[in-house]
Every structure is written in structure tokens, then in C-alpha cells.
A and B are shown apart, each in its own frame.
Chain A
Amino acid sequence: NAGVMQNPRHLVRRRGQEARLRCSPMKGHSHVYWYRQLPEEGLKFMVYLQKENIIDESGMPKERFSAEFPKEGPSILRIQQVVRGDSAAYFCASSRGTGGNTEAFFGQGTRLTVV
């Protein structure tokens, strides 16, 4: 029973390029969350999605960031025109039901470095 799969594990981008982070939820899970973590800081909520719907994107910057969770395939977090401040670990979590009613399980993260 595979866990939450994120790829790539490490991603290096030059300033101005695009970063695409992928997240495949656990089997049977239809709820996906994206979080950002800076060194020595906690996990900061970015966006909560269900299949084909964005439920809460209150933690996601309005500019350059977008997320999707299509009917088929993984959830994608997309960062356009990356800047040095986007360097962080990005974690995806999935749950079977609505947030708080069931446990959310995390992937191993994608570490984005902008040079």
C-alpha cells in the first residue's frame, strides 16, 4: 500500500524558470493539501483541493502560484517565474475524508532550490 508519492525529491531552478511539483495521493484518498516549510520553521498551509476542485487556497500567494488536482493523475503545484524566496521544502498530504475528520498522511517532500 504505497504512501503519498511526491516527485521530484529535489528540484533546482534558475530565477525566472517554472517549477512543477507533483503529488500522487494514497490509494482511496481524494483530498490533497500542499504545505511549505522553511528551515527551522513550521509547516505553512498553502492550498486544499479535492478532485477537480480548489476548496481553500487562502495560504497560496496570489501571484505566480497555482495548484490543480485533476480527475485523473497527480496533483500539481506550479510556481511560475521562481525567485530565490521560493526556495523551501514543499510537502503534500492526502486524506480519505474532509480535513480534520480523518488523518492526513504526508509525502517525503520536494526540496526546491532557486539559484
Chain B
Amino acid sequence: EDQVTQSPEALRLQEGESSSLNCSYTVSGLRGLFWYRQDPGKGPEFLFTLYSAGEEKEKERLKATLTKKESFLHITAPKPEDSATYLCAAVTSGTYKYIFGTGTRLKVLA
């Protein structure tokens, strides 16, 4: 069965303390790996798409990377406004639906 697992479930960082979020996927042929940010009471906001192992994407303090089994979201020198739940999703070659992990709740303290 296709599955996406995210860790840790929750993460507290001090402002400026860099860290990484993990997204492991077990799918039958990856079509694409997607990262989203979700704030409380709002819909997920698209961040990145990764299609093949070795690919990297960057946006401000965030950098997403992809291997054949997992993806990482690296947060460099985070700020309190980076606090949110970060979701990853995989789309497999056998279907078209986005399979989401349960997310990592990030809290950045000033």
C-alpha cells in the first residue's frame, strides 16, 4: 500500500536554529513529491514540487531535497513566522491522487 510518513510530529526551535523535517515515502513509482505549508484554520499553501532523486528546490529560508526513499525540508535560520504545519504528499505513477503525510507541526520561538 502506498504510504507517506512524516517526522517528527512536532518540532520546537529557537529563532535562528536550523533543522530538517523528514518525509519518507513507500510508493509504487513516484510521479511527484510535493511540500505544503498549512496555517491553523487555512488551506494548504503550495511550496515545492520535486520529481526525481537528487533534485533540490529553494525558497527563502526553505530548501527541499529528494532521494529515492525520502524528502527533506531544510529550514535555515527560522523565524517565528515560519511556525506552521508542513505537509508532504506523493503522487504515484499508478494513480493521480496526492497521498499526504500527517505533517510536522513546527513552532519557532522568538
The interface of chain A, by Cβ under 8 A from chain B, is: 4, 6, 31, 33, 35, 41-45, 48, 55-56, 58-59, 91, 93, 98-101, 103-109
How far, in Å, is B87 (CB) from chain A's closest CB? 7
Give Cα distance in the complex from A109 to B41, angstroms.
8
Q: By the criterion CB–CB under 8 Å, are A56 and B34 in contact?
A: no
Which residue of A6, A59, A108, A109 is within 8 Å of B97 (Cβ)? Answer: A59
Question: Looking at chain B's contact residues, is the secondary structure mostly helix, strand, loop, or mixed?
Answer: strand
B21 contacts chain A at the CB level, 8 A cutoff: no
Q: By the criterion CB–CB under 8 Å, are A56 and B43 in contact?
A: no
Counted as pairs of residues, one from A and one from B, with CB atoms less than 8 Å apart, the total is 67
Q: By the criterion CB–CB under 8 Å, are B87 and A100 in contact?
A: no
How far, in Å, is A22 (CB) from chain B's closest CB? 14
The interface of chain B, by Cβ under 8 A from chain A, is: 31-32, 34, 36, 42-46, 49, 87, 89, 91-93, 95-103
How far, in Å, is A77 (CB) from chain B's closest CB? 15
**Residues in A neighbouring B99, C-beta threshold 8 A:** 45
**Residues in A neighbouring B42, C-beta threshold 8 A:** 108-109
Q: By the criterion CB–CB under 8 Å, are A56 and B95 in contact?
A: yes
Contact flag A43-B96 (CB < 8 Å), given A91-B44, A100-B31, A100-B91: no
Q: By the criterion CB–CB under 8 Å, are B102 and A103 in contact?
A: no
